Structure 1
């Protein structure tokens, strides 16, 4: 009994990292997931970590407060970097909406309560469903579980190279926009060709009202191309999920020095 009481500070630190991760990570942070479910999942996952990962004993003193802040930072950072990679599809949807003429017609994302593009939100929902279908949420849990082996609970973070962190963030953002461009390129490229054809039509046949014909034509071509390129989209989403897991591991190694 006394041994379990001595492990309560460690259990609390584990719970802080996991619950912070669930607050920021995709799928787990969605508004549709009940709060008591997140807390319960974090508690049972903390018990698993406590019984499988050996950690040094922790004392309840002033230093313990800094350990809690460190665990909160680690959990939020891992969840944020995972969500950032998955938000690539929303950025790609913004590119597509701009070409289709849907840039001014946004919808409210139930997860973030922010205005998001229509096609971007549609692609994001598809990517979430694909993530769940291939057990990508298990990869997220595996990533945060592995962080306990690299980032122990009883010590603060080592001296981290700030230039390395800045380079990592810059490379992550660049990779996100590159992947978004790859997802949006087939549809945006097709709509760009439609713009060129409409421009040629306006010059050759001035009597045709291009503004009346162009908008429904671009919407029709956009939806047809969106349907045709769905297999390619899911292939790219699979690559994004793999990159998300790899990026989480890179961040853990950077924070671990």
Structure 2
């Protein structure tokens, strides 16, 4: 069947819609600061902006010939699902990168007693400990301070070259990549939290020995403020190391994403 002239702009608009679907899934699943409180129109506008910026480097996988085929509806549905999966995967990888600090903060807050003071996390819009909110905001600031948002846009542009719109297909090894990302997240969280947790364990042992030596002492009333002070003292030398830990995690994460999307 001959391809008419009106199908050419229709194919272009369809591929632009597929690109917007990839960007929309990315913005929905990525933990952008304040994104949970933002109206849906803001996320759609951000997705359209990213799609407009990356459209010149996009390779269209569906042309007029594919749209004229009898199975055009199935091809379009499969292409849209593939773009949503790819965008969601990139957003999930970004979330795993930033959740390392949140995991470390949850561990420290539970051990040091900071979990008693809660506030609304601007990223997730849920109640979280004050230390969790502080470290989550620190991770977001480091993300922009290291220009990782520019690296993310570069990876998105490279993914459009490696995987033209509508042609992405999952592979058996893709799940292993996210398992590795999760392992790196836990490793970074442990590296941040372990020194403070070790000091708090020594405080608990000291309080236990004091309780054995002086059973009449009201150690329960002393333990809470002592652990809070010890946690603050331990965070003082640990926090300056957090940018280095975050950058190492981000570097390995982006290398893994580049290898995954460049296959």
Same fold? TM cut 0.5: yes
CA distance in 2: counterparts of 1:166 and 1:157, whole angstroms: 13
1:205 and 2:210 correspond: no
CA distance in 2: counterparts of 1:157 and 1:77, whole angstroms: 12
Structure-1-length-normalised TM-score = 0.86
Q: Deviations over 1:63-87 (max 9, x none)?
A: 1111111111110111011111210
1:39 and 2:35 correspond: no
Q: Mind listing any 5+ residue stretches in structure 2 that lack a counterpart? A: none
CA contact under 8 A between 1:27 and 1:137: conserved in structure 2?
no
**Shift of the alpha carbon at 1:130?**
1.8
1:233 and 2:242 correspond: yes
**Shift of the alpha carbon at 1:154?**
4.0
2:56 aligned residue (48, 51, 59): 51
Q: Mind listing any 5+ residue stretches in structure 1 that lack a counterpart? A: none
CA contact under 8 A between 1:22 and 1:29: conserved in structure 2?
no
CA contact under 8 A between 1:90 and 1:123: conserved in structure 2?
yes
Q: Deviations over 1:164-221 (max 9, x none)?
A: 3343333222221111110111211111111111112212222322111111011011
CA contact under 8 A between 2:33 and 2:140: conserved in structure 1?
no
1:215 and 2:224 correspond: yes
Partner residue, 1:138: 150
Larger mean CA deviation between 125-134 and 211-220 belongs to: 125-134
CA contact under 8 A between 2:31 and 2:123: conserved in structure 1?
no
Structure-2-length-normalised TM-score = 0.84
Partner residue, 2:186: 177
CA contact under 8 A between 1:86 and 1:244: conserved in structure 2?
no
**Shift of the alpha carbon at 1:112?**
2.6
Partner residue, 2:19: 14
SS at match of 1:30: coil
Q: Larger C-alpha radius of gyration, 1 or 2? A: 2
Larger mean CA deviation between 134-143 and 88-97 belongs to: 134-143
Partner residue, 1:149: 161
**Shift of the alpha carbon at 1:18?**
0.9
**Size of the alignment, in residue pairs?**
251
CA distance in 1: counterparts of 2:180 and 2:167, whole angstroms: 29
Partner residue, 2:199: 190
